[in-house]
Amino acid sequence: MSNIDNFKDFARRNPSLATYVKSGKKTWQEFYELYDLYKEDRNVWSNYLKEDTKNDRNSFSINNILNYAKNIDVNKLQDGISSLEKALDLFGGIISKDKVSNENNYIPRPVYRRFDD
């Protein structure tokens, strides 16, 4: 594995690094340079790895919900909803056609009657 792959693996195992990048305190480049120099030395990474982000992921506070809502593209959402409606209409039409074709509309002619009677 290359050094970059090792760093990616290290970053995946330590998601608290992402909080520093998201908040703008550090960049991935700065973290990579630290990793390139010191590898996984606990003394170097202890300042960055002591935050617990599991609570941040699992908590649904009003601020988190509002931040998610700010990032929603309304046009894409509307396009997705209209596509879903079209698909449901299509499947509904197929299902209703199957129900109509399964009904027995044929009425048998009595055996003793002829066609011209």
What would the pLDDT profile of 43-96 be if each residue is shown by its tens digit? 889 888 875 444 455 556 787 788 778 888 888 989 999 999 999 999 888 887
20, 26 in Cβ contact below 8 A? yes
Is the entire prediction scored with pTM above 0.85?
A: no
**What span, in angstroms and rounded, lies between the C-alpha atoms of 21 and 27?**
5
Residue 3 has a pLDDT of 86
19, 52 in Cβ contact below 8 A? no
Residues 2 and 40 in one domain: yes
Residue 27 has a pLDDT of 92
Domain total of the chain = 2
Residue 53 has a pLDDT of 47
Closest C-alpha to 14, from 2, 103, 90, 26: 26
Residues 54 and 84 in one domain: no
Residues 55 and 77 in one domain: no
Residue 82 has a pLDDT of 93
Question: Residue 21 domain-assigned?
Answer: yes
